[in-house]
């Protein structure tokens, strides 16, 4: 059984490497520096008196496909739909002279992705906003968190502009999807390789 499993994995790895779009991770334009720790990635950018970090994790970042039911009728030679990773991401804005960090929790709404044609529509939304003490690893539940569901739209627009001025805009959000998808694929191939070694290990 294990031999067949290992053989299957070998073929699978070959296939996945064939369709791998990026041999190295795509860059995000605008002077962002990338740090990757396993499945977590962090993009950092410094502008006058501020440091902006964007953190995301590729785990569970691929939305469940709505085409589950149509799998039955799929013709064997049809390409599988391309998987795209749309992770939630957290933007932190740290100003040099304050002890507080503004934290904006953003995500890609499921129904928005792939709906082009609507001009001026943002491909990501801000879900929550809060202040957290700068430099503390754990965020406090006791800090007020503003949920944007019930937010005055003018304030929401200002928050989106605030992010755009710091380089977090639709272009950035698009490139983040590219990066995340490439990272997810890379990790998936690595996982298959680890699994293969594990299965073959006597």
Q: Is residue 52 part of a domain?
A: yes
Q: Is residue 93 part of a domain?
A: yes
Domain of residue 4: give its range. 1-57+84-110+120-200
CATH number at residue 167: 3.10.280.10
Pairing mode, strands 89-95 and 145-147 = unpaired
- Please compute the mean of the pLDDT values over residues 171-187 and round it to a whole number: 95
pLDDT in tens, 3-16: 999 999 999 999 99
Question: What's this model's pTM, rounded to 2 decimal places?
Answer: 0.84
Q: Is residue 30 part of a domain?
A: yes
Q: Tell me the CA distances in angstroms from 92 to 35, 70, 133, 136, one per residue in order.
A: 15, 41, 11, 12
- Please compute the mean of the pLDDT values over residues 73-93 and round it to a whole number: 74
Top pLDDT among 83 and 34 is at 34
pLDDT at 77: 47
Q: Is residue 159 part of a domain?
A: yes
Residue 2 confidence (pLDDT) above 70: yes
Q: Is residue 146 part of a domain?
A: yes
Please report which confidence band the pLDDT of residue 171 belongs to, taking 50, 70 and 90 as the band edges: very high
pLDDT in tens, 95-110: 988 888 999 999 999 7
User: What CA–CA distance (Å, rounded) separates 123 from 191?
Assistant: 30
Domain count, the chain: 1
Please report which confidence band the pLDDT of residue 76 belongs to, taking 50, 70 and 90 as the band edges: very low
Please report which confidence band the pLDDT of residue 117 belongs to, taking 50, 70 and 90 as the band edges: very low
pLDDT at 65: 65
Q: Is residue 137 part of a domain?
A: yes
Q: Is residue 76 part of a domain?
A: no
pLDDT at 21: 85
Q: Is residue 158 part of a domain?
A: yes
Exposure string of 76-85, with b = 16+ CB inside 10 Å and e = fewer, is eeeeeeeebb
């Amino acid at each position: 059984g294990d031999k067949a499993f290992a053989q299957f994995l070998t073929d699978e790895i070959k296939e996945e490497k064939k369709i791998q779009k990026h041999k190295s991770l795509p860059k995000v334009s605008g002077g962002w520096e990338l740090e990757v720790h396993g499945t977590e990635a962090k993009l950092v950018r410094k502008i006058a008196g501020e440091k902006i970090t964007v953190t995301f994790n590729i785990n569970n970042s691929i939305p469940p496909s709505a085409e589950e039911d149509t799998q039955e009728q799929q013709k064997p030679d049809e390409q599988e739909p391309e998987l795209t990773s749309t992770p939630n991401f957290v933007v932190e804005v740290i100003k040099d002279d304050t002890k507080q960090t503004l934290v904006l929790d953003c995500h890609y709404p499921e129904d928005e992705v792939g709906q082009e044609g609507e001009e001026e529509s943002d491909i990501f939304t801000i879900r929550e906003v809060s202040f957290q003490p700068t430099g503390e690893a754990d965020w406090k539940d006791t800090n007020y968190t503003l949920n944007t569901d019930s937010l005055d739209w003018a304030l929401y627009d200002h928050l989106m502009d605030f992010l755009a001025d710091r380089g977090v805009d639709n272009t950035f959000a698009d490139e983040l999807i590219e990066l995340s998808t490439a990272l997810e694929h890379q990790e998936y191939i690595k996982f298959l390789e680890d699994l293969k070694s594990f299965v073959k290990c006597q």
